[in-house]
Structure 1
Amino acid sequence: MAQVETQVDHDKINLKLILVSGRVREIQFPPSTSAADVCDYVFNNWPPEWDDEKVTSSSLLKLIYHGRFLHGTVTLSALSLPLGKTTVMHLVTRENLPEPNSNDSLKKAKRGSNCCY
């Protein structure tokens, strides 16, 4: 499924995963891989140098891309990640994903357009 290498295959997506501690690991995945599959792979192949941060279940691992938590069913291809390139994501421990905040939508609607006439 995934490969840990430095040279990026042209048909794979290289994920640079960064922990909160700043530790980094690069792993290549096919574009059809889901966020849950990435978390499962990392959990099952936990790097020895990360042992002090190991979690008890892959379901506790969450990916963050562009400041947003990725739900487990989202595939890397659905994010339009470039093949053969490196994409940075954060890997964090969290039991539940936050619910979308309805107040944010209300604030945006009240603000309206930022254009000047």
Structure 2
Amino acid sequence: MPIGQRVPQDKINLRLILVSGKTKEYLFSPSESAGDISQYVFDNWPPEWEEEAVSKAEILRLIYQGRFLHGNVTLSALGLPTGRTAVMHLVPRESLPQPSSQEDLHRKKTSGGGCCGSCSCVIL
């Protein structure tokens, strides 16, 4: 999207940033998913990104607010407002890291390795 042009009220302007720092902006509907976006960018790869070209769309991953997006997550599910610009990183990566929940993190901290096994200790 040209600089200075307004974002249509029914679209989200997505500014994608490569690891190299190169950026490109695309307009997407809120209903489009991370997988749709990766496929679109792959099919319309910018000439100025030629050095970073990948062999298939499936290895393009979007990162938003520090998290890898799974292919079926839509822009609207992320709460991105229409008529505005959002920034995401675009990286080539074969597989996604396993999602971790707070419960898993808590379980790792409290199981094994503690002074009392599975119970909690209180020192007064």
**TM tier, shorter chain?**
0.7 to 0.9
Instruction: Extract unaligned runs of 5+ from structure 2.
Output: 111-124
CA contact (8 A) 1:60 1:93 kept: yes
CA contact (8 A) 1:12 1:83 kept: yes
User: C-alpha root-mean-square deviation of aligned residues, in Å?
Assistant: 2.0
Q: Does 1:36 align with 2:35?
A: yes
TM norm structure 2: 0.79
Between the aligned partners of 2:70 and 2:101, the Cα distance in structure 1 is: 18
CA contact (8 A) 1:16 1:26 kept: yes
Against the structure 1 CA distance between its residues 21 and 44, is the aligned structure 2 distance closer, same or farther, given a 3 Å change threshold? Answer: same
Cα distance, 1:28 vs structure 2: 0.6
The number of residues matched between the two structures is: 107
Which residue matches 1:62?
61
Between the aligned partners of 1:66 and 1:34, the Cα distance in structure 2 is: 16
Between the aligned partners of 2:41 and 2:24, the Cα distance in structure 1 is: 9
Cα distance, 1:106 vs structure 2: 1.9
CA contact (8 A) 1:5 1:27 kept: no
Greater fraction of residues in helix:
1
Which residue matches 1:106?
106
Identity of aligned residues (%): 60
